[in-house]
Structure 1
Amino acid sequence: MAAALGGLLFGFDTSVINGAVNSIQSDFNLGSAAVVITVAITLIGCAIGAWFAGQLADVWGRKPVMVLAALLFVASSIGSAYAFAIWDLMSWRVIGGLAIGIASVIAPAYIGEMAPARLRGALSSLQQLAITLGIFLALLSDAGLARAAGGAGNELWWGMPAWRWMLLVGVIPAVVYGLLSLTIPESPHFLIRKSRNKDALAVIRRFTSPVNPEQRLKEIEESLENERRSTYRELRGPALGLQPILWIGIGMAAFQQLVGINAIFYYSTTLWQSVGFSQEDSFTTSVITSIINVALTFVAIFFVDKVGRKLLLLVGSAGMFVGLVAAAVSFSQATGSGDSLTLAAPWGPIALVGANLFVIFFAATWGPVMWVVLGEVFPNKIRGLALGIATAFNWIFNFIVTLLFPIMSAAVGLGFVYAGFAFFAVLSFWFVKALLPEVSGLELEDKSKLVRHKKPTTA
């Protein structure tokens, strides 16, 4: 749970901008393009942080990198709240992105290495639960502060408008994450890499409780093949220059974003205002959606180790497709554009139901299970680098979707945009069915052997 709190900051920091974006646009007198960049620029930092997180974790250890992420979160929250110009705000948001990217890699890597096979799916899903809680807390905080001030742009305390307090609140979970990171043990995989086998054995005995701790230690040693630090050379393979398993990880990371989940969470308040909801109702609707997101994550935690990763993902792809089609058809009936967009009855409620149906299936499947897969599917020798690269691609596609969503919505309409998301939901179904291996119930060391000996098309 301590490691997964990085996911809470991940969800909080990426979603807190939701309630502040309109006030930021007004206070800094921004055009629509500048607003989009302000929202999306964090994701550039996320991609950079994710890319290097695995390498830092292999050199420094998992714990120090978690503490680094917490410090960056604190700095970003304070700097963003007191930003005096738009370039200053963007700079602090990039720093926050570095922290998010680091946390998004370290949590699944650490949990995957610490958890026993029978519990790893559920424990790895805690990160997504923390992400959804972070989103919920961010939207709830935004709604509460906006309500207290009578609007996000109105003055709240000490001469600061509510939107600045929205960004400053992130200091609290960041400090909690940093303090808890200091209390947890280092990963036995990292300790073995540093020839600290005695310490690694003590961690294995106390926290992972295998039947034979010495045998588990030996298995980890053998899986690491006596390497001390993985390099990019080990990622090379016959499939377009990379190992097939890395392409599978990149594909999983990309599809989780291409179905459009963050288009809903980053722009939900603005989106619902555009189709006739008041600002207060839009905040409330966004909070309700985030509650659904949290609640349904427990479905994945309960079922992921019982029915397997692959089946959950297939069900999720099918359910997301249905919800996205409902939203696409509804928004195709919209009249007007921009702030004057309206949905006549019954299309408004149908759009809301479709969007929330999509969130339900995403939260119960692709949201948490993608992180479970990334945390366990790579061989031990390349896990740090491969997980960092795959997560970086997740953030890159997050950036692309976030940047293009308002542009494409204005150019072709929300109906076509949601239809595009539905198309990627169909592709994600095919991708999982055809390419993803089912490796539930195996220790990480067993998975490494499986991946090395499977044919490229299935591994």
Structure 2
Amino acid sequence: MKNNVTFLALIAALGGFLFGYDTAIISGTIGFVKTQFDLGTLMEGWYVSSALVGTILGVSFAGVLSDAYGRKNILIVSALFFALSAIGCALSGSFTALVAYRLIGGIGVGVASMLSPLYISEIAPAKSRGRLVALYQLAITLGILVAYFANSFLLSLSVSGKGADMSAVLNKIVVTEVWRAMLGSETIPALLFLFLLLLIPKSPKWLTMKGKSEEARSILLRFMGREEANREIGNVQEVLRKKSGGIATVLSGPFKLAMLLGVSLAVLSQVSGINAIIYYGPRILEEGGLQLGEALGGQVVIGVVNVLFTFLALWKIDDLGRKPLLVYGVLGIMISLITIGGLFYFEVDNALLLMIFVLTFIACFAFSFGPVLWVLLAEIYPLKMRGAAMSVATMAVWVGTTFVGQMTPWFLENLKPYGTFWLFAACMVPAFYLVVKVLPETKGKTLEQIENYWLTK
């Protein structure tokens, strides 16, 4: 039973791997694309954030379509978008075409970023839901790490000139314009994701919501006994009889606080500065005294730490709960950001010290905001409007990410690195308040119990 559910969760979590890969692979291409297309600061930001605009588009329709046609079917659409984007970027003939294909990839990211954790939450038992949904964030960090390794490998291949004897097209992609190979490498995991999605069943909760309880029961019987399966379906049917549906409910009814909390934490998680490090890490580390090759190597170390500390969350999220991980994580993020800003402000010429506090920041994010946010967004909304509500909250994630992706070059140039990191630190103050004072603990509760909490509150 357990292994079967875990297998399904791992397949769905591949959407997170592609999310992380797509997000991080661009970091190794920025310098090359900027030089080749002679981009200014704002256009450099547009190259990075264009995919993020796509994610907002993807999220905007993912919830409605997944409520209508099912989580599985729309995830398959996202896999197709990933593959099309990777191939298109590798072959694009102009900056406009490159941005267009990045937008397409962003749509895939937006859809997967909402539906992968949602699907996992709907197949997972309450006692292990946090751990299984956190697999999604682990997959994101692994995608980021693999992307860093891919960038380093392809860069070394390009510099060595070992691909000089390839055909003219391959030589252009792999050697002379290596950024094409970096972006095109996403084709492999995209096609794997597409194939594996064909093997997973539809969400039993979605099927029950659509009145297909017998089909839902037959799927649940693969993971659990008949009595437990009947109880799961009965719980969903009971919730459906209550007046908790409609997106308007989330803006004015008992779920208003849940919506505001989810959206606020979603935006604040991104303005912590995590994507400034993911996207512009090499540039930031270069300003701290590292050479480009060393900076790209530093990105790999960042990726390793990101993965390792996500395992910590995976291990403890269902034991300690969501709140303790967020409380200590947000505190650590604030302290790290303030310290990094101080190192730049006082011009401390110590690249190792800078790297230590960047890694501390990454570690704190990786065991808190990184995995816990996706777990919360997948479990705090009621069934009838879960797709639509999670679309809104996930869109908030991408609005924050787009803002950071677009504005970080401007921040670094005008506020300087110290002002940029101190600005991110200031954004963690309201995050800490919400976690301590407003956020309920949801560990061990069924999705239906969490829904009833908001109704009674």
Equivalent residue runs for 1:164-243 within 5 Å: 164-207=180-223, 212-225=228-241, 231-237=246-252, 243=256
CA distance in 2, matches of 1:60, 1:294: 33
- Report the AA paired with residue 283 of structure 1: L
SS in 2 for 1:276: coil
Change (3 A) 1:282 1:86: same
Q: 2:389 is matched with which residue: 386, 389, 403?
A: 386
Q: 1:250 is matched with which residue: 258, 263, 271?
A: 263
Is the counterpart of residue 114 in structure 1 residue 119 in structure 2?
no
Is the counterpart of residue 423 in structure 1 residue 432 in structure 2?
no
Contact 1:74-1:170 within 8 A present in 2 as well: yes
- Report the AA paired with residue 237 of structure 1: S
- Report the AA paired with residue 426 of structure 1: V
1:295-349 per-residue CA deviation (whole Å, 9 max, x = no partner) reads 1100000100001101110010111111111101011123xxxxxxxx52x3x32
Deviation, 1:209, is 5.1
CA distance in 2, matches of 1:75, 1:21: 21
Cα RMSD (Å) of the superposition?
1.9
Contact 2:41-2:410 within 8 A present in 1 as well: no
- Report the AA paired with residue 398 of structure 2: W
Change (3 A) 1:44 1:208: farther
Deviation, 1:151, is 7.9
SS in 2 for 1:2: helix
Deviation, 1:197, is 1.0
Change (3 A) 1:309 1:141: same
Which piece of structure 1 moves more, 349-358 or 217-226? 217-226
CA distance in 2, matches of 1:51, 1:63: 17
Which piece of structure 1 moves more, 143-152 or 45-54? 143-152
Is the counterpart of residue 30 in structure 1 residue 39 in structure 2?
yes
CA distance in 1, matches of 2:399, 2:232: 37
CA distance in 1, matches of 2:429, 2:246: 35
Equivalent residue runs for 1:25-64 within 5 Å: 25-64=34-73
Deviation, 1:270, is 2.1
Deviation, 1:195, is 1.7
Contact 2:172-2:178 within 8 A present in 1 as well: no
Deviation, 1:366, is 0.9
SS in 1 for 2:390: helix
Change (3 A) 1:427 1:2: same
Deviation, 1:233, is 2.4
Deviation, 1:159, is 2.7
Q: 2:110 is matched with which residue: 92, 101, 105?
A: 101
SS in 2 for 1:450: helix
TM-score, structure 1 as length reference: 0.92
Contact 1:8-1:131 within 8 A present in 2 as well: yes
Question: Match of 2:172?
Answer: 159
Is the counterpart of residue 295 in structure 1 residue 304 in structure 2?
no
Question: Match of 1:76?
Answer: 85
1:366-409 per-residue CA deviation (whole Å, 9 max, x = no partner) reads 10000000011111122111111000010001111111111011
SS in 1 for 2:394: helix
Which piece of structure 1 moves more, 66-75 or 217-226? 217-226
Change (3 A) 1:151 1:127: farther
CA distance in 2, matches of 1:309, 1:113: 18
CA distance in 2, matches of 1:364, 1:104: 18
CA distance in 1, matches of 2:224, 2:379: 16
Is the counterpart of residue 18 in structure 1 residue 27 in structure 2?
yes
SS in 2 for 1:65: helix
Deviating beyond 4 angstroms after TM superposition, the runs of 4 or more aligned structure 1 residues are 208-211
Question: Match of 2:273?
Answer: 260
Deviation, 1:447, is 1.1
SS in 1 for 2:346: coil
Aligned residues: 440
Q: 2:150 is matched with which residue: 141, 150, 154?
A: 141
SS in 1 for 2:11: coil
Contact 1:314-1:433 within 8 A present in 2 as well: yes
TM-score, structure 2 as length reference: 0.93
CA distance in 2, matches of 1:275, 1:226: 57
Contact 2:209-2:384 within 8 A present in 1 as well: no
Change (3 A) 1:210 1:3: farther
Deviation, 1:20, is 0.6
Equivalent residue runs for 1:124-139 within 5 Å: 124-139=133-148
- Report the AA paired with residue 80 of structure 2: L
Contact 1:327-1:352 within 8 A present in 2 as well: no
Contact 2:16-2:113 within 8 A present in 1 as well: yes
- Structure 1 gaps of 5+ residues are 335-342, 455-459
- Report the AA paired with residue 362 of structure 1: F
- Report the AA paired with residue 117 of structure 1: A
Deviation, 1:80, is 0.9
CA distance in 2, matches of 1:14, 1:230: 34
CA distance in 2, matches of 1:82, 1:231: 43
CA distance in 2, matches of 1:439, 1:210: 26
- Structure 2 gaps of 5+ residues are 1-9
Contact 1:230-1:385 within 8 A present in 2 as well: no
Question: Match of 1:442?
Answer: 445
Change (3 A) 1:126 1:324: same
Contact 2:63-2:391 within 8 A present in 1 as well: yes
Change (3 A) 1:252 1:167: same
Identical positions, percent: 32
SS in 1 for 2:317: helix
Which piece of structure 1 moves more, 273-282 or 36-45? 273-282
Is the counterpart of residue 331 in structure 1 residue 344 in structure 2?
yes
Question: Match of 2:294?
Answer: 281
Q: 1:4 is matched with which residue: 13, 23, 30?
A: 13
CA distance in 1, matches of 2:160, 2:209: 53
Q: 1:402 is matched with which residue: 398, 402, 405?
A: 405
- Report the AA paired with residue 410 of structure 2: I
1:115-159 per-residue CA deviation (whole Å, 9 max, x = no partner) reads 00010000000000000011011111001000111189x978433
